[in-house]
Amino acid sequence: MLAPQSGSQSSYGGRFRATDLAAPWRHVDVVLLAAVAGVLLIGSVMVQSATRNLPDGGTFIVKHLAFIVVGVGAMAAVSLVDYRRILAWWPVVYGGSLVLLAGVLTPLGSTVNGTRGWYRLGPLQLQPAEFAKVAMIVAIAAYLGAAERVDLRRLFGALMLMGGPIALTLLQPDLGSSLVFIVAGLGMMVVGGVKMRHLAVLMVLGVVAVAGILNSGTLDQYQKDRLTDFVSPDGQSYNVRQAQIAISSGGITGYGLGKGPQTKGGYVPEQQTDFIFTVAGEELGFLGSGLLILLLGTVIWRIWRIAQMSAEPAGTLVCVGVMSMFLFHVFENIGMTLGIMPVTGIPLPFVSYGGSSMLAAFMALGLVQSVHMHRFV
Amino acid sequence: MDTDSDRIRLTAIGIVALSLFVALFVRLWFLQAIDRQRFEVASASNRLRQIHVEGPRGRILDRNGKILVDNRTEVVVALDREPLRKLTPARREAIFADLAETLTSQGVPTKVRDVQKKYDDQRYAPQERVPLLEDIDENTEIFLLERGHRFPGLVVERRAVRVYPYGPLAAHLVGYVGEINEDELAARGGKVPGATSTTSTTTPTGVALTKPYYVRDTIGKAGVERSFEKYLRGTPGSRTVEVNAKGDMISVVSEKPAKAGDDVWLSIDADMQNTAEQLLEAKVRSVRDKIDNDGNPLRAPQGSVVIQDPQNGQVLAMASYPDYDPSITVNGISTELWEQLNNPDNGRPLFNWALQGTYAPGSTFKLFTGYSAMRTGFITPANERYYDQGSYKVKGCNAGKCSFRNAGGAKLGMVDLPRSLTVSSDVYYYWIGDALWQAKGQLGETALQDGAEQFGIGQRTGIELPSEAPGRLPTPRSRRELYRANPKAFVTDRWYTGDNILTSIGQGDVLVTPLQLASSYSTFANGGTQYRPLIATAVTRPKDPGVDPAALNNVVLVHRFEPEVLGKVPFTTEQYLKIMQGLIGVTQSGSGTAVKSWRASPTAWPMAGKTGTAQVTGKADTSVFAGFGPVDGSPPRYTISIIIPEAGFGGDVAAPLAFRIMKPVSENRLVPACTVDQVARCEADLARQVALVSGDVGSGGPG
């Protein structure tokens, strides 16, 4: 897009010129893009299948595809900028995300399903928590990546960076997102050189903090119920039971597109967003839903690979942060539909219907691509 | 940064990621490949609902194809609760209030509470419609349909209900239908709502299996509707629909149409039934409010007439008074009405007295005593005369009651067996009863009862109708058993000569049902063959349901009820003729107890019979007659039995009634039964009959 000139130059110039090799556009991770494309394809079909019987059924897929287009644009834009320049702006990025997170708690924000986590912008809804996840990854990567060694002061600094969005999302309350901050932050600390004993203390503190959150008045009963549902399989909630019925009855080959009885009947709540994996399970069976998991796994594998290839610690940290975020989203989201994780409302990246999460996921992917593309520069 | 350590940590994170993905795959495989079947069942029960559709019941016809019980379409206003559920409770209440008010203004008093109760009725599945008003008229239907927009969820449906073209004709016989209760449902393998577990859906009979029952189904509750349920019941159909999470229907998955039940053809002749019912009612009414010679009021609380074909056991008419209009049972009987119909002060109109009523047969029993006397050899041509002095002294008696008088005390002089029947000498039978008891050493202690038992006295006839009473034929043994079972209720466990004497004339503890009496006289009339009384001749189904079911080319035979021989009563010709001569004398000889009735006007053919006047302590006599005809040398084709309690002498009430009924039968001039549209004609008929029957004079004597 940006490089027809440099491309034409390179085709005339010697193949081994360092400048050509370093040209960012030549180092796009094609496998990563292909895997994401596959996930997007399956996801779009699932969104269509999940929403075709809804009252305004046709509009979902149109919006979904629009989100993808916007997302791809955002990814391209982010990836072409050297991630180091983005990291340099981390206080702005991070501060902006905190302002948005704080603002949503004011009357400016609106409440959906008991969580005050959205800005209503005409026909669209903006969920600042999704963008805050990427912002926090940028901030911690910049903050830890710049350090020679992570002493206690740095560690506390990083923890403060984590604590801000966690506190603000818990106030919504949005348990799922706050867990994402914790997991992504911890992943970056593990790889970012935090000493093992500090990590151990952190783990203990983490457990205490989770217990504290559960026992404080922050969580509504329904959120605790979701967590205990997971603990006692007998008292399965309606959602979990219906989700498992849908996935399981899909069998190996599935009912076929648009033919899943559970999906058609709308038995699984939120089947186009948080529970979209049930649609894949029922209509595509093990072959289709397994392929979806495999593609998502490929995405994560490629990000992990880029983390290893990065020239600098900050790039590695960006990738580890994004990887941890995606990994948690995928495992938690699919895990809850399979009944092995508690129910929390976090979307399946690149699959679930929803503009904010789609856009944020593409931005995170753009960052990773930027690390890959600018690793020689 | 310690790069090596970081590399290791990155690798560790990679391993964590990999293992999490492996966990997802394993779980996914477990659900989709291993545990699939369990969840598939759950998926189906989630979304598939079976809506059960009852088939219309078969019709009940008389032997000539007159439809006694048919189906008609009823307009029902029902609530479809789906659109109502989507409204707010306040909006719903407002609609219910409006609806109740509108219906009340249309002449159907309705309370808001009633509508709310229907809306909350848990016996109906969410998709099912709850009937709100049954059998509304066309004007109300149109009124409601025009205002449909005001009442979301209000639907007008049509369904089949029973209709009785001949009104109360044969009401007790055809019976009625009602909603199946929990016991009936459980007995038929149906799923009882609220039951903890459904053990199995298999049922004892194959017919029930193909016609399963569900909650709120219709089932025969009485009469033919009940006993021929397996034929009459339609085969239910079903509609399997797919519903979404909200319970709204998405699609019809499969549909099995319901099939109509089979038609049952009764052996009853509607015209004969009508004649019997009308004359019985007329007779009962003419008897009532009089006082007998002993000062007992003639209450005639009930009465029965049974007419049977003695050659095959088919029941041609079975009338029980008082009767009721079965159309009141459509859409259910109220508790109030139910109590009225079972109130003894009203004569218990729901009772089929011909089947459920038991009465002392009185002198009609003498046929069996006479048979027993000949059978045991006590009465022979050389020893059949006894001098009736008006009373009988028990031989060798020196304690207790030793002398038994003729009813009315008449001295009848020298009597042989035929004359004893004709003039109804009690003394003659006392003599037999005493002698058979004295000879118990040789003949056994039931020499008297054995003959009666062969005719079916004291046993259910086995007619295919519910609630038949067995009657009673007392024996020394049954007395002992009764006493042993409940010593306080009985005076003694011993059987005395006096018991034999009373039993010999159908008094004491002997009880028969009118049907049993008819059946036993049929057994004699046909020469000794005991048939099971038949109430139906055939079961058919129409080839084309739209066409007249009686048209012969439109009928497919499902089942034919063949005469069934239960036993044979052996006679010599001489014995048979002796009894026959006596019974013919009753209506034909100058001294016969029923001769006045038969001499009142000529009939097409002569009849034989026996009057009975059973004494009941503290009440007026039970009036009994049993007879058969023709007795002109051709085989008898009709047996009739009549029992009217608290009505007076048999010769005064039952015998003249028998004559009145049998006269048009013999002349083949039965008045056609009236349909409900012909009420005027029927009332005129009835008035004429009452006048006729009231003018009848009896023989004026007991026996």
Q: What is the DSSP string of B594-661?
A: THHHHHSS--SS--EEEEEEEEETTEEEEEEEEEEE--SSSPP-EEEEEEETTS--IIIIIHHHHHHH
- Say whether B27 and A308 touch across the interface (CB within 8 A): no
- Say whether B47 and A285 touch across the interface (CB within 8 A): no
Give the minimum alpha-carbon distance from A370 to chain B in angstroms, rounded to a whole number. Answer: 19
Give the minimum alpha-carbon distance from A133 to chain B in angstroms, rounded to a whole number. Answer: 19
Q: How confident is the model at residue A240 (pLDDT cuts 50, 70, 90)?
A: confident
- State whether residue B687 is helix, strand or coil: helix
In a domain, residue A176? The reply is yes
Q: Which of B12, B28, B242 is facing A290, going by the closest CB pair?
A: B28
| H/E segment holding residue B179 | strand B177-179
Q: Which of B32, B243, B250 is facing A286, going by the closest CB pair?
A: B32
Say which residues have a Cβ less than 8 Å from residue A359's Cβ, sequence separation at least 6.
A67, A70, A71, A74, A130, A131
C-alpha A8: how far from chain center: 37
Q: What is the mean pLDDT of residues A238-242?
A: 83
Say which residues have a Cβ less than 8 Å from residue A240's Cβ, sequence separation at least 6.
A229, A230, A336, A337, A339, A343
| H/E segment holding residue A206 | helix A196-215
Strand stretches in B436-554, DSSP E: 529-531, 536-542
Q: Chain A interface, mutation test: which of B18, B39, B47, most A Cβ atoms within 10 Å? A: B39
Rounded Cα distance, B147 and B139, in Å: 13
Which chain A residues are Cβ-neighbours of B43 within 8 angstroms?
245-246, 249, 261-262
Asked if residues B131 and B114 have their Cβ atoms less than 8 Å apart, the reply is no
Q: What is the mean pLDDT of residues A68-88?
A: 94
Which chain A residues are Cβ-neighbours of B34 within 8 angstroms?
none
- State whether residue A101 is helix, strand or coil: helix
* Residue A14: pLDDT over 80: no
Q: How does pLDDT run across B457-472, given as a tens digit for each residue?
A: 999 999 999 999 999 9
Residue (of B305, B299, B274) closest to B285 by Cα position: B299
Q: How does pLDDT run across A259-270, given as a tens digit for each residue?
A: 888 888 888 888
Burial A285-296 (b: 16+ CB within 10 A, else e): bbebbbebbbbb
The strand pair at B403-405 and B536-542 is best described as: unpaired
Strand stretches in chain A, DSSP E: 109-112, 115-121, 124-126
To which residue do tokens 């990246």 refer?
A: A349
Rounded Cα distance, A327 and A300, in Å: 7
Rounded Cα distance, B671 and B291, in Å: 33
Three-state SS for B303-322 is EEEEEECCCCCEEEEEEEEC
Query: Measuring CA to CA, how many Å separate B157 from each of B74, B96, B108, B219?
Result: 8, 19, 17, 21
Q: What is the DSSP string of B537-598?
A: EEEEEESSTTS-TT-GGGEEEEEE----EEEE----HHHHHHHHHHHHHHHHSTT-TTHHHH
Residue (of B315, B612, B625, B362) closest to B462 by Cα position: B315
Asked if residues A190 and A147 have their Cβ atoms less than 8 Å apart, the reply is no
Burial B541-552 (b: 16+ CB within 10 A, else e): bbeeeeeebbee
Rounded Cα distance, B128 and B193, in Å: 15
Residue of chain B nearest A282, judged by CA positions: B32
pLDDT at residue B111 in the model: 86
Q: Which of B28, B35, B46 is facing A267, going by the closest CB pair?
A: B46
Rounded Cα distance, B362 and B510, in Å: 9
In a domain, residue A63? The reply is yes
Q: Chain B interface, mutation test: which of A51, A245, A310, A323, most B Cβ atoms within 10 Å? A: A245
Backbone angles phi, psi at B571, to 5 degrees: -130, 150
Residues of B with CB under 8 A from a CB of A: 1-2, 5-7, 9-10, 12-14, 16-17, 20-21, 23-25, 27-29, 31-33, 35-36, 38-40, 42-44, 46-47, 242-246, 250
Say which residues have a Cβ less than 8 Å from residue B391's Cβ, sequence separation at least 6.
B403, B404, B405, B406, B409, B427
Say which residues have a Cβ less than 8 Å from residue B462's Cβ, sequence separation at least 6.
B468, B532, B533, B566
- State whether residue B250 is helix, strand or coil: strand
Rounded Cα distance, A99 and B557, in Å: 88
pLDDT at residue A8 in the model: 40
Q: Provide the Cα torsion B366, B370, B375, B377; round to 10°.
A: 140
- Say whether B32 and A53 touch across the interface (CB within 8 A): no
- Say whether B10 and A297 touch across the interface (CB within 8 A): no
Asked if residues B419 and B370 have their Cβ atoms less than 8 Å apart, the reply is no
- Say whether B28 and A264 touch across the interface (CB within 8 A): no
What is the token pair recorded at B421? 């029947």
Asked if residues B438 and B395 have their Cβ atoms less than 8 Å apart, the reply is yes
Rounded Cα distance, B657 and A262, in Å: 74
- Say whether B14 and A304 touch across the interface (CB within 8 A): yes
Q: Provide the Cα torsion B197, B203, B207, B208; round to 10°.
A: -30
Q: How does pLDDT run across A345-374, given as a tens digit for each residue?
A: 889 999 999 999 999 999 999 999 999 998
In a domain, residue A23? The reply is no
Q: What share of chain B is helix, strand, coil (3-state, %, to 5)?
A: 40, 20, 40
This prediction's pTM:
0.73
Q: How many CB pairs under 8 A join A and B?
A: 135
Query: Measuring CA to CA, how many Å separate A104 from each of A65, A127, A168, A177, B661?
Result: 26, 9, 9, 14, 97
Backbone angles phi, psi at B556, to 5 degrees: -110, 125
- Say whether A324 and B250 touch across the interface (CB within 8 A): no
Task: Please classify residue A65 by burial: count the beta carbons closer than 10 Å to its beta carbon, then call 0-12 exposed, 13-18 middle and 19+ buried.
Answer: middle
* Residue A12: pLDDT over 70: no
- Say whether A245 and B42 touch across the interface (CB within 8 A): yes
- Say whether B47 and A191 touch across the interface (CB within 8 A): no
Rounded Cα distance, B340 and B353, in Å: 16
In a domain, residue A21? The reply is no
What is the token pair recorded at B501? 């004497």
Name residue B639's beta-bridge partners. Answer: B308, B628
CB atoms closer than 10 angstroms to residue A363: 24
Residue ranges of chain B whose pLDDT lies below 50: 1, 194-208
Asked if residues B319 and B277 have their Cβ atoms less than 8 Å apart, the reply is yes
Say which residues have a Cβ less than 8 Å from residue B22's Cβ, sequence separation at least 6.
none
Which chain B residues are Cβ-neighbours of A330 within 8 angstroms?
24
Interface ipTM:
0.90
Q: Which of B17, B46, B250 is facing A245, going by the closest CB pair?
A: B46
Asked if residues B543 and B528 have their Cβ atoms less than 8 Å apart, the reply is no
pLDDT at residue A19 in the model: 55
Rounded Cα distance, A233 and A216, in Å: 25
Residue (of B692, B644, B686, B649) closest to B284 by Cα position: B644
Domain map (residue ranges) of chain B: 73-158, 270-351+574-694, 362-456+474-509
pLDDT at residue B398 in the model: 80
Q: Which of A267, A304, A331 is facing B20, going by the closest CB pair?
A: A331
Q: How confident is the model at residue A203 (pLDDT cuts 50, 70, 90)?
A: confident
Query: Domain range spanning residue A368?
Result: 29-373
Which chain A residues are Cβ-neighbours of B10 within 8 angstroms?
191, 304, 307-308, 316, 320
* Residue A10: pLDDT over 50: no
- Say whether A267 and B244 touch across the interface (CB within 8 A): yes
Q: How does pLDDT run across B326-372, given as a tens digit for each residue?
A: 988 887 778 888 888 888 888 899 999 999 999 999 999 999 999 99
- Say whether B32 and A334 touch across the interface (CB within 8 A): no
In this structure, whether the domain defined by B270-351+574-694 belongs to CATH 3.30.450.330 is answered with yes
- State whether residue A325 is helix, strand or coil: helix
Q: Which of B13, B32, B47 is facing A320, going by the closest CB pair?
A: B13
In a domain, residue A356? The reply is yes
Beta-sheet strand order (sheet of A124-126):
A109-112, A115-121, A124-126
What does pLDDT average to over chain A?
A: 86
Provide the domain count of chain A.
1
In a domain, residue A8? The reply is no
> B362-456+474-509: which CATH architecture?
3-Layer(aba) Sandwich (3.40)
CB atoms closer than 10 angstroms to residue B206: 9
Q: Which of A247, A320, A330 is facing B32, going by the closest CB pair?
A: A247
What is the token pair recorded at B376? 């045991």
Rounded Cα distance, B150 and B153, in Å: 10
- Say whether A281 and B28 touch across the interface (CB within 8 A): yes
Q: How does pLDDT run across A158-199, given as a tens digit for each residue?
A: 999 999 999 999 888 888 898 899 999 999 998 888 888 888
In a domain, residue A1? The reply is no
Which chain B residues are Cβ-neighbours of A149 within 8 angstroms?
1-2
- Say whether A246 and B43 touch across the interface (CB within 8 A): yes
- Say whether B36 and A248 touch across the interface (CB within 8 A): yes
